[in-house]
Amino acid sequence: GQEREIIPAKDMYSSKHGVDDMVMLSSVSDGSINDNLKKRYNADVIYTYIGHVLISVNPFKEIKGLYEDRTLKDYKGKFRYELPPHVYALADDMYRSMLSERENQCVIISGESGAGKTEASKKIMQFVAAVSGSSPAVQHVKDVILESNPILEAFGNAKTIRNNNSSRFGKYMEIQFAISGDPEGGRINNYLLEKSRVVFQQSGERNFHIFYQLLQGADSGMQSELAITGPDYFHYLNQGNCYTVEHVNDVQEFQEMRHAMNTVGMDANEQAEIFRTLMAILYCGNITFRSNGKEGSEVADPQVVDMLAHLIQSNSQSCTKSLCYRTISTGTQGKSARVSSYNCPNSVEAADYTRDAFAKALYSRLFDYIIGRVNQALGWANDAQCITLGILDIYGFEIFDKNGFEQFCINYVNEKLQQIFIQLTLKAEQEEYSAEGIPWEHIDFFNNKICCDLIESKKPVGLLALLDDTCNFPKGDDPKFLQKIVETHTGHAHLAAAPGSAEFVIRHYAGEVTYYCMGFVDKNKDLLNNDLIDLAHCTNSWLLQALFPEAKTSSDKRRPTTAGFKIKESINQLTAALEMCHPHYIRCIKPNDRKQANNYNNGMCEHQVKYLGLLENVRVRRAGYAYRQFYDKFFYRYRVCSSQTWPSWSGDHQSAAEAIISVLGVERGAYIKGRTKIFIRAPETLFALEELRERKVYIYANQIQSFFMRFSMQNYYYTIQLTGNQKMQGQKERRRLSLERPFKGDYIGYRENFPLKAIVEANGREKLAFGDRINKYHPGLKKARAVLLLTAGAVYCITIDKNKDKDKLARAKKPWIYLCERRVPLQNLRGLTLTNSADNFVAIHVTGDFDLLVETRRKTEFMATLLKYAPSVSIQFSDNMQVNLKKGKPVPIIAVRDPKGAIGVLKSKKILVAPGLDRNTQPNLQPPAAVPTVTIDPYSAARSGAQSGGGITGGRGGPGSANVRGGSPSLTRGGVRGAPGGGSAPRGGAAPRGAPGGPGPARGAPRGGPGGPGRGAPRGRAAPRGAPGY
């Protein structure tokens, strides 16, 4: 046979577009990492690995085929090394690990603003939705998960100088899954909404998308009711002098957002109230004030206040009073309290501040309300059996020309996320090697804990605590805050501040940032005037009353928490949630600041490579071990791989782990034994072990299922045989073998023939009812090998053809491929015609199309099975068949009896066939007897083993196992002794690499040609040399 081309090991990880996994770089430096990313970026290859960390470079354009449905299906069920790096590969790894290990998973997506974090999170959700179930309840959850994106992007994203669709809030979405892998619910936690954007935008930036979508997409009735006009009319929209976004259609986005609102259960009335509130915010921004000649202020244009009052369903007097006056209470509290209240006028500046505070509070609470409605639609089950998959998308590190309180909070959160990454990928890994007694040379890295402590520590007092202290003093202001910074942190390595200045500098992990401290104290207080809360209580809008529930409650005299305190608490909760999950990482890189495609800025990207710590990540990964696991868990998961450890093992778990590894024949340096864990150096060793495990489990599962199906399917096949023989009786001569042949439906090993399954599954989840190797005849009556499949929805005629791929390596891997020549839906079948003679020919007639002429030994079974799914199909018998093999006149095919014709030979439109048994001959069919059942205690073996003090027999299912103790009892009559406690058949029916490719060679087929022996179909691919699956 033809020699297969051998691929050098180094080429398995590299390509002409650089190295797929940068652990395999020949030289390691910041420059070589950057060069590799640039080479791949220029070739439109945006994903790269560093071990299990995915690096993504934003292409700022659509890349053909990158996210197509076909691409998604290709990555489903694959190990990482089988296909090039992709966000789908990471998503599949998360999903499979969650199911197999029964462990919560999360992905932390980090990078600068505009690096592509939001897009990555959307692709992960898209993948998870595509590979999970489709029952009505599951579909509802998936719809809400996907449809939440248009809503959250509309209300939480905006155009900034650096990013046309920048997330101006952070979110952590948790999706709950049943142990079957189907989503059952979820929830979204949101962080740090940029409220200040509601009232101010820098030049070239926009407010939140929803405002522009509403103004552009509202119908005429809504425009009239809400007094909608152009965006340049509104002060809250015209400051940035930017109203559109390139390649974004606000009208279309508004329609998609409204459709999403319908999906999550927001009715027309609720949507109308939301839009009314949005317009109220815009009109609130158009209220201007002037001095009243005294110490107070008055509204310059009362008509604008009238419009605000109309929109919030209140009165103009209440609105004016809440904005131009503030209520001050004096006195003491208690039973004999004497409290006096005074209406103090606001200055013009104070009135402006009050107006903006009301608008920010209104939008922020509206955003929280919408998040709550999405969570309500998702549902969250308090079920300990559920496992979760979390996706963290939080806006990235920011450095602007003028950085304020918002940037301080954002960068603090990014410092915390960087700390988590360092702890779990660099620091903890090296500490674990030391604890396990593994020889290790320490690798230095920058630990940003010093920067996190500078911001959040209590002792010494961090910046957040200093800011809170300043806010608690009656005369605390921004200069006082800066003074406290200078007094407390003079000489700190990561902070610089000068007395009398209005700025301070923090040296973050991503670079130095200068913060302008004016406004820090006021924004940290985050107080809302009680008069504004009372205004919400006085409106007739149910939504506003829901947004300000404190208006209906008694006054809370406790000091309100500050914005900094809330951020610190929420981030600590987020950190705790992430630490409860097995983490995955996506590090996003922004190639340029101009949002241009095909523009890779070397300096900018290398800076990101440095502060993201990619070099240290590569070094630790190269020097370390890709996988580690406790001995007992390793044993319970992989014991089925070795005949020494399965079905019983009498030694300790450490020795068992070594016995399991030895099955792969790897060299001693490929793994090392620690004190409590086994460490495996290369991920390929683990992948090989996983494939071996899946193959073993799959084989055992198939044998067990086949054993039981022999009994469970007896009644089904008895009915099929009865139907087929009744149809044949008196119509067609029979052969003895045909009469006595048992039926089994699948004659091609369909369960393990993945290329065939891929063809069928491309048309939906159609269950196979019949499959056989056949001869198919072309219009010139030329014979060709083919496969005939019958599902619940269609008949397939699939030919086996030579692979004509131009790639020599691809042809060597797959010399033969399947081609779906015909798919005929059952409703389009007009009927079948068989001859009266003892041949195997069947004409399949199709309404409005040409017919199929096939030759199959199992014609009776095919016909009877077809009648089960399509009872109205006509069955005709005639020695003069009229077959329309192409458009035009039908071709007569005549059956002629010839003693030398054997079972039928087609020559010159004649079927030469030897005489058969009488047409009325019938088999002696007997109804199947009832099968006795016996209940077996699955724990008996474990109990007896424990009493006798013996070794490990079967054992207890570890993570991802079936949790069966002692294995299954021996099965007689062809069964398998013991069932693997380590799992079940692979998800989606996909067999592992090397799974059996189906039955052996067909009669008369050349070895290695169509019908030749299959060497085992890899996961999701066509079988290698030999006809696929034969």
- N-terminal to C-terminal alpha carbon distance within the chain: 18
Active site residues: 113-114, 118, 163, 166-167, 396, 398
Taken in order 192, 198, 200, 201, is the CA torsion positive or negative? positive
CB atoms within 10 A of CB 368: 13
Number of H helices, E strands in the chain: 33, 35
From residue 186, alpha-carbon distances to 109, 139, 146, 682 in Å are 19, 13, 12, 35
Say which DSSP state 483 is in. H
Q: Which two tokens stand for residue 491?
A: 């000489």
Residue 13's nearest CA partner among 65, 87, 70, 80 is 80
Residue 790's nearest CA partner among 822, 833, 762, 817 is 822
User: What is the spatial distance between Cα 728 and Cα 836, in angstroms, rounded to a whole number?
Assistant: 9
Say which DSSP state 403 is in. B
CB atoms within 10 A of CB 269: 10
From residue 220, alpha-carbon distances to 79, 154, 224, 267 in Å are 54, 21, 6, 19
- How does strand 297-299 pair with strand 289-291? antiparallel
Q: Which two tokens stand for residue 859?
A: 């014609």
Residue 972 — left, alpha, or beta (φ > 0 → left; ψ -120 to 50 → alpha)? Answer: beta
Sequence-distant (6+) residues with CB within 8 A of 781 are: 853, 885, 891, 906, 909
CB-CB contact of 1022 with 134 (8 Å): no
Q: Tokens 């073993």 identify what position?
A: 696
CB-CB contact of 562 with 468 (8 Å): yes
Residue 635's nearest CA partner among 982, 212, 122 is 982
CB-CB contact of 705 with 971 (8 Å): no
Q: Tokens 């083993």 identify what position?
A: 945
User: What is the spatial distance between Cα 420 and Cα 427, in angstroms, rounded to a whole number?
Assistant: 10
CB-CB contact of 48 with 18 (8 Å): yes
Residue 898's nearest CA partner among 908, 909, 910, 882 is 910
List beta partners, residue 1017: 995
User: What is the spatial distance between Cα 725 and Cα 926, in angstroms, rounded to a whole number?
Assistant: 13
Taken in order 429, 432, 436, 439, is the CA torsion positive or negative? positive
